[in-house]
Amino acid sequence: MRDARRPLISHGRQLRDPFADRASLLCRTLLANPGTVWHVRGLAEAAGVAPMLSSDVVRQLESAGIVTAQARGRQLLVRLIDPQALLEKWTAIYRYTRSAALHFAAAGPTMDKWPQRLAQAAGARRWALTLLAGAWQRNRYAPTERLHIYVECEDIQELRSVADRAGWPEDAAGSLVLMKPAYRTSTWHQISNARPDGPPVVSDLQLILDLWHYPERGRETAEQLWRPILRLFERASATEESAHGE
């Protein structure tokens, strides 16, 4: 395997940041499909981005030894081979604090009904739990009384408007935290209800990214979510090696 510590290429034509919002959809798609071999155009289609952006990101990840990119006729076959290096490069530059946030007071009975209140106040806007509150819905690892929730919005004032409609006063010490996502598009990639009767939660990958530098049990919780993903890649790699050895 190549040295995954090598930096992403920066010479020649200016390439797009592979961890920017829409570009990160490619990284998210790669991580969501262990063992898959992609054509560059097929990867772009699966991620919902332009082929040129796909080529840019693949070129950079290949230079760092994170993916292989092999020509087959006129096609370029791409495969993620070092998911750990991809995560390390991503978390080296990403912080959950990039998302603007406001704190609100929502104590007592209001907290028991906050999903319904938020859904009504948000209207057509998407929303989803993140950080420890989201991770708790997934794996019950680190309980928390603080709820961090992404809300689809144009600006911070929209968060205030949503909270006003729900009846939540702004409070710097409040346990309900509404956030305007730094990733305007890709935050919503693969959101789901972790439990049939539970609120929507961002993807495990987005949880990992948000938790990685979170000060309260963030890294250990992120690693709990990351290990199953990494095992899927290890199994895919072992299966491929076994097939080649037959």
Q: What domains are defined for the chain? A: 1-83 (1.10.10.10), 96-224 (3.30.460.40)
Q: What is the pLDDT of residue 245?
A: 54
Q: What is the pLDDT of residue 150?
A: 98
pLDDT at 110: 63
- Reduce the DSSP state of residue 213 to 3 states and report it: coil
What residues does 148 pair with on adjacent strands? 130, 177
Distance (Å, whole) CA 97 – CA 246: 49
**CA 56 centroid distance within chain:** 20
pLDDT confidence of residue 4? 45
pLDDT for the residue numbered 196? 80
DSSP per position, 65-105: TSEEEEEETTEEEEEE--HHHHHHHHHHH--GGGSEEEEE-
Confidence (pLDDT) at 7: 52
| Dihedral angle sign, alpha carbons of residues 59, 60, 63, 64 | negative
pLDDT tens digits, the chain, 246 residues: what are they?
444 455 554 444 567 899 999 999 999 999 999 999 999 999 999 999 999 999 999 999 999 999 999 988 778 899 999 999 999 999 999 999 999 999 999 876 566 788 999 999 999 999 999 999 999 999 988 899 899 999 999 999 999 999 999 999 999 999 999 999 999 999 999 999 878 888 999 999 999 999 999 999 999 999 999 999 999 999 998 877 655 555
* Segments in the chain forming alpha helices (H): 24-31, 40-47, 51-63, 83-93, 109-112, 114-122, 131-139, 156-166, 204-211, 218-245
Q: What is the pLDDT of residue 151?
A: 98
Q: What is the pLDDT of residue 109?
A: 54
125-144 burial string, b = 16+ CB within 10 Å, else e? eebbbbbbbbbbbbeeebeb
| Model pLDDT, residue 94 | 97
Q: What was the pLDDT predicted at 10? A: 47
Dihedral (C-alpha) 71, 77, 82, 87: value to the nearest 10 degrees? 120
Question: Rounded distance, CA 71 to CA 64, Å?
Answer: 18
> Residue 155: its pLDDT value, please?
95
